[in-house]
Amino acid sequence: MSSTPITAATAFAARPEWDRARRIVVKIGSALLADRTNGELKLQWLASLIDDVAALRAAGRQVVLVSSGAIALGRFKLGLPKGPLELEQSQAAAAVGQISLAAAYQALAGQHGMTVAQILLTLGDTEQRRRYLNARHTIETLLELGAIPVVNENDTVATAEIKYGDNDRLSARVASMVSADCLVLLSDIDGLYTAPPHADPNARHIPVVTEITPEIEAMAGAPGTELSKGGMKTKIEAGKIALGAGTNMVITTGDIMHPLRAISEGSKVTWFLASQDPVTAKKRWIAGQLEPRGTLFIDAGAEKALFAGKSLLPAGVARVDGTFDRGDAVIIRSTDGRELGRGLVAYPRSEAEKIAGKRSADIEALIGYNGGDELVHRDDMALSRK
């Protein structure tokens, strides 16, 4: 591991997007965490990263970590050969390595008095709206409770067809799921170049990307090391997901101590800048792309609350119509039928009916669990007029 200091030659101005980011998702690649020669966890480096996370948290910012490394750590412990692994072997390696990984995060975060929470996701958890809402709800709850979610793919159960395979895209999905302001991909390279820099001496570093054009896509080379699945290609795929969700993305090197602090100090990185913020992007998606499955008719008090920026609580709902599941899009109408907006509903029709008109405090008594106080959260709602 090199611990290159930030010198004047590499000093760039820190972007305002970084200083403004309240919710940050950080993806940590396998090559940064596991020593390639002996599969040991690079504890000292990870400690410096967790120091940076603690500093961000102390400044009131929320951090979600998406950590690779389970397979890279586990394969050594199981004595698996070098080179590509069979699916069963990588599933077994992940099962072993994930324990060390989680233990390391827990120990290091504990030194700062921080609590970490392990979340293992499969592709379906981020693609199917119902499971997506469940996963999001858990991550949001953990953040509210002050914990640091540490996410990885659930490699042990994910088979080839239902697998991301790389944490670049997984982290972008997670960032979009929680409407993060910024996604940081800590990599073994300090950003995007016009060509792979190890192969082409004329390759130029690109500091800012605002749109992923075919030219940008053509700049991605093949994966860099045998330990990490992702190369520049999956990072650019991640960029598409992030930008589409209104989340800014940074590709930067993790091959230095304190890699997040380095971003604040203006280190050399590539920024992918989204043209709109995450909430606006999501609302456009809800208003424009999703086929509504039902209608919630709401009373005048709730209508007023919505236009004052509040979420829709069950108490304000007079009537429910249609056949919808948790996570489906619904139309929100006044009782006289005016369309007020659209949103993603947090309960299926059968349960929405039971809690309509009731207080949120009674949700659990009415349906046996509390899936959140809101029927439609304000971040999941696009109103028809201001």
Which segment (147-155, 300-308, 342-350, 364-372) binds ligand GLU by CB under 6 A? 147-155
Q: How many CB atoms lie within 10 A of CB 202?
A: 8
Among the listed residues 15, 45, 69, 179, the single contact to ligand GLU using CB under 6 A: 69
**Interatomic CA distance for residues 11 and 178, integer angstroms:** 31
Can you state the angle between helices 87-110 and 70-77, rounded to 10 degrees?
110
For ligand GLU, the closer CB: 68 or 126: 68
68 binds ligand GLU per the rule CB under 6 A: yes
**Interatomic CA distance for residues 218 and 214, integer angstroms:** 6
123 binds ligand GLU per the rule CB under 6 A: no
228 binds ligand GLU per the rule CB under 6 A: yes
For ligand GLU, the closer CB: 162 or 300: 162
In the complex, minimum distance from the CB of residue 292 to ligand GLU, in angstroms, rounded to a whole number:
36
In the complex, minimum distance from the CB of residue 242 to ligand GLU, in angstroms, rounded to a whole number:
16
270 binds ligand GLU per the rule CB under 6 A: no
In the complex, minimum distance from the CB of residue 98 to ligand GLU, in angstroms, rounded to a whole number:
7
For ligand GLU, the closer CB: 119 or 296: 119
Which 3-state string (H, E, C) describes the chain? CCCCCCCHHHCCCCCHHHHHCCEEEEEECHHHHECCCCCCECHHHHHHHHHHHHHHHHCCCEEEEEECCHHHHHHHHCCCCCCCCCHHHHHHHHHHHHHHHHHHHHHHHHCCCCCEEEEEECHHHHHCHHHHHHHHHHHHHHHHCCCEEEEEECCCCCCHHHCCCCHHHHHHHHHHHCCCCEEEEEECCCCEECCCCCCCCCCCEECEECCCCHHHHHCCCCCCCCCCCCCHHHHHHHHHHHHHCCCEEEEEECCCCCHHHHHHCCCCCEEECCCCCHHHHHHHHHHHHCCCCEEEEECHHHHHHHHCCCCECHHHEEEEEECCCCCCEEEEEECCCCEEEEEECCCCHHHHHHHCCCCHHHHHHHHCCCCCCCCECHHHEEECCC
156 binds ligand GLU per the rule CB under 6 A: no
Dihedral sign for Cα atoms in the order 66, 67, 71, 77? negative
Per-residue x/- track, 77-106, ligand GLU (CB under 6 A): -----------------x------------
Number of residues that this document lists for the chain: 386
Partners of 182 in the β-ladder: 24, 248
In the complex, minimum distance from the CB of residue 148 to ligand GLU, in angstroms, rounded to a whole number:
17
Among the listed residues 52, 125, 140, 166, the single contact to ligand GLU using CB under 6 A: 166
In the complex, minimum distance from the CB of residue 138 to ligand GLU, in angstroms, rounded to a whole number:
19
In the complex, minimum distance from the CB of residue 72 to ligand GLU, in angstroms, rounded to a whole number:
6
In the complex, minimum distance from the CB of residue 167 to ligand GLU, in angstroms, rounded to a whole number:
4
Among the listed residues 52, 125, 153, 380, the single contact to ligand GLU using CB under 6 A: 153
Per-residue x/- track, 296-335, ligand GLU (CB under 6 A): ----------------------------------------
Among the listed residues 48, 122, 156, 167, the single contact to ligand GLU using CB under 6 A: 167
Which segment (77-85, 149-157, 296-304, 356-364) binds ligand GLU by CB under 6 A? 149-157
Which segment (36-44, 125-133, 222-230, 360-368) binds ligand GLU by CB under 6 A? 222-230
In the complex, minimum distance from the CB of residue 273 to ligand GLU, in angstroms, rounded to a whole number:
24
For ligand GLU, the closer CB: 167 or 311: 167
Residues that bind ligand GLU (CB under 6 A): 30, 68-72, 94, 152-153, 155, 166-167, 228-230
